Structure 1
Amino acid sequence: MFDQEQLMIAIKEYVENINLFDKKATNLFRHAIVDTISNTVTVKENGEIFVATGDIPAMWLRDSTFQVLPYLELVDDIPSIKQLIHGVIKQQLSFLLHDPYANAFNIEENDRHYSNDRSNIPISSLVWERKFEIDSLCAPFFLAYRLYQTGYQKHINKDFWKSAELVIDTFITEQRHEQSEYRFQRSDCPSSDTLQNNGKGTPIYYTGMVWSGFRPSDDACHYGYFIPGNCFILVILDQLLALLIDNKQEKLKEKIIQLKSEIFEGINRYGLITDQSGSLYYAYEVDGLGNQLFMDDANVPSLLSLPFLGYCKDNDPIYLNTRKKCLSEQNPYYYSGSYLTGIGSPHTPPQYVWPISIAMEGLTTADIAMIKEKIIKIANTDDQTNQCHEGIDVNDPKNYTREWFSWSNMTYCQLVFHYMKLINKK
């Protein structure tokens, strides 16, 4: 049986020997890396491990992946981390099999929901929220592949492949969303919290890409084809193909290869914009009808995060051109103030920058000086709470959303590990 207490002690002892170049940054790292295992993780008797997002008692498939992903940096010294990750994946796959259209789940069938939404099916008592977000279906397999890369394979089992087939079939269905039964409507809420057109979303045309109702911010997509999410799908399709090398599931393999080809073609045909100089960059969302939206959001997957996810190299010309525009006033959610500069989100107030996006700037470069700058900047935004927040006022770090946000904490830890690996290579 997985021993959560012993793992917490082992992690705490390990990180107490890590000293960064800045005392405040060190203290935040030591606290954040232990906080997730001690305050968000619940181990169930069946071996599933539930990971709450922080100040909300639900588990998001995407958030939980990035909450525990940094722990894989410690597996060589603390092997029991592999059991933690396996347990999280087991829980994620169980949720996927229960409802592949839901983004967040309860720890048990307690009938707690964010809102009483109208959907095409009654919302399950296990589901916290039923927003269809394509990145939610990618995240568990992204985590599973990272665990597999450590040499651990026990999680690649029947449930894994059953879940994979369900996800692939769901993606194929949502390539032609007009034929899908999925609906989502919420009353008495901002327009970003519900889907237009009787819950079907704004009009789209077939592109080969997969439709997404919502972004990783849980805000509704303006246009139905979310480009960073479709890039993320291509990443996990390649990973699934790598795992299928010694597997005899030829029909699943054929589905994946076909889906990969169609999404790739769709991104390159509809998801690229040409600027005035003739250079290409990625759109954030498109509809296949000629409409393209450029912006970037702090939540991952984002355009900024594409190299971190493994979609492209950090020196890829199209990515670099896209990155430059994301980190400029061409992105309507790029904010600059007397204290902070960076990417925020329409999910939070204007002029609020997210530590997740600050960390992602560092996670998508090998520039050590820049990475140090980002680490220090994030550490200085905690307002003496020893926690990373969601969004922070660019002019006053005492104004922020969410005092406790585990995903933000752990993305900061991921950045610290990135820095340490680069330093050790020198």
Structure 2
Amino acid sequence: MTLHGGGGLPSTSTQQPAGPEAEFLHGALAVGAARILEVTGDPVLAGMFVHAMRNTLDTTLTREAGGTTFVITGDIPAMWLRDSSAQMLPFLRLLGAGVGGGAGPDSGDELSDVVAGLVRRQFECVAMDPYANAFNQEPNGASYDPADACDNPWIWERKYEIDSLAFPVQLAHQLWRRTGRTDIFTDAVHEAMRSIVRQWRLEQDHEQNSDYRFVRHTELPSETLSRDGLGPATAVTGMTWAGFRPSDDACVYSYNVPGNHFAKLALEHIGEIAAVVYQDAELAAEALALGADIAAGIARHGVVNHPDFGDIYAYEVDGLGNTLLMDDANMPSLLSLPLTGGVDAADPVYQATRAFVLSNANPYFYTGSHAAGIGSPHTPEGYIWPIALAVQGLTAATREEKWDILQTLRDTTGGTGNMHEGFNPDNPEQFTRPWFSWANSMFCELLLDYCEGPDGHDNKNGNVS
């Protein structure tokens, strides 16, 4: 039994034939596979790596006229700002390793150009509507639900999630730091970064300042916002508001703590880019000041004392005294804070939080005969997400835990050789989405992280941040 289109999304076939633009990575993938085989001694893992990387190139990526890149999420013909960034993570490692990568903006390196093209396209989307989470390749009016209150034909969905703005900033920062190229930082990107800071500042007081509303006519409360689209009541905390989580589900309480950690990190990136590249001291100061406000809000409202685990991060709070203790498989998550929040993996609050989210105290931690890990209310109860398993491995303190998770991912594809959205840990042949590009990329990211470690290469918890 296969469940398609997770979360009720339509399952639309959008696979594209491999184009000549993918051929430049053949050598890099062969080198990567050889390294994996050398370190792990496992030809299955090496083959899965090549298959997953080619799957992203062949089925999700389009290089467009004008130097931009459009990356669909997989079985849906739209680009999520979050997913498309994460889908590039293992390819960034190839740049950093000098395999298929160049030294800078004039290197003529095609992989660097592919990622730069995605950065350009993402910031075009942010400039178009910083509240939208997913975009069409063309202004064709395609959308999740034609009844949604959005008249922009470029927008697939307008669920406001903090990570939709943070991921493009992080991707731009990663590309810059790995290659030295600054041509991605155009005047338009400069203005988009200003708009991100303005929006996160405005949304510190959503009740008073914001015009954003989201109403979807549905019986699923996770697909719309309460109070005629305004969302749950909140008090001002210093954190920035979100309507939806990284899972695309509505927040129960609208200060999503892992999302705010990610915003803080992205603001640090904006501050650095503003100061070093744009020489814009005003934007740098505004970004860092807002980041400090958010950090103070997290410390004041986002940390709670658990009777069994001590001080841990809540998943969501409202500033009115309500807290939600859980974690979701989607990034940014509490588990991913060393990757998406700039949090030290050895930090005592993170370690206590990690122990909580990887225990039965987390309502979305599931165990079965084949696996144990974090799932999501976005998929059937009891289903574990490969993305969350990969994040667990990337943030693990030991190589033994990383290796155990790699073996679990290898052995729970349901015979497909692909990572799925979620799978039944008692029967991996039951899953949502026959292939999920974001999950494929996170598997490759963990595999490369594991294989870089023994020789002392750059191995900083996945090097996502």
TM-score normalised by length of structure 1: 0.96
Instruction: Measure, in 2, the Cα distance between the counterparts of 1:336 and 1:235.
Output: 32
- Distance change (3 Å), C-alpha of 1:277 and 1:167: same
Long gaps (5+) in structure 1: none
Instruction: Measure, in 1, the Cα distance between the counterparts of 2:239 and 2:309.
Output: 25
Point out the more displaced range, 351-360 or 2-11.
2-11
**Of 165, 169, 177, the match for 2:194:** 165
Q: Deviations 1:137-170 (Å, cap 9, x if unpaired)?
A: 0000100111111122221221221110111111
C-alpha contact 1:11 1:34 (8 A) present in aligned 2: no
**Of 360, 367, 370, the match for 1:329:** 360
Question: Identity over the aligned pairs, expressed in percent?
Answer: 39
Q: Deviations 1:73-121 (Å, cap 9, x if unpaired)?
A: 11112122211110010110011001100000001001000013443xx
Alignment of 1:25-424 (within 5 A): 25-75=45-95, 76-79=98-101, 80=109, 81-119=111-149, 122-150=150-178, 151-178=180-207, 179-246=209-276, 247-276=278-307, 279-424=310-455
* RMSD, aligned α-carbons: 1.6
Instruction: Measure, in 2, the Cα distance between the counterparts of 1:116 and 1:200.
Output: 20
Aligned residue identity for 2:377: P
Q: Deviations 1:125-145 (Å, cap 9, x if unpaired)?
A: 000000000001000010011
Instruction: Measure, in 1, the Cα distance between the counterparts of 2:309 and 2:366.
Output: 26
Alignment-derived partner of residue 24 in structure 2? 7
Offset, 1:3? 6.5
- Distance change (3 Å), C-alpha of 1:278 and 1:339: closer
Offset, 1:12? 3.8
Offset, 1:16? 4.2
Aligned residue identity for 2:43: K
Aligned residue identity for 1:188: T
Point out the more displaced range, 356-365 or 278-287.
278-287
Q: Deviations 1:30-53 (Å, cap 9, x if unpaired)?
A: 100111112110111011100010
Point out the more displaced range, 130-139 or 309-318.
309-318
Q: Deviations 1:197-243 (Å, cap 9, x if unpaired)?
A: 10010100001111000000000000000000000011111112222
Aligned residue identity for 1:23: P
Q: Deviations 1:161-208 (Å, cap 9, x if unpaired)?
A: 111011111111111111211000111241101101100101000011
Q: Deviations 1:294-315 (Å, cap 9, x if unpaired)?
A: 1000000000000122521111
C-alpha contact 2:374 2:385 (8 A) present in aligned 1: yes
Offset, 1:8? 4.0
Question: What secondary structure does 1:185 align onto?
Answer: coil
- Distance change (3 Å), C-alpha of 1:56 and 1:388: same
Instruction: Measure, in 2, the Cα distance between the counterparts of 1:192 and 1:70.
Output: 31
C-alpha contact 1:117 1:185 (8 A) present in aligned 2: no
Long gaps (5+) in structure 2: 1-18, 102-108, 458-465
C-alpha contact 1:123 1:130 (8 A) present in aligned 2: no
Aligned length: 423
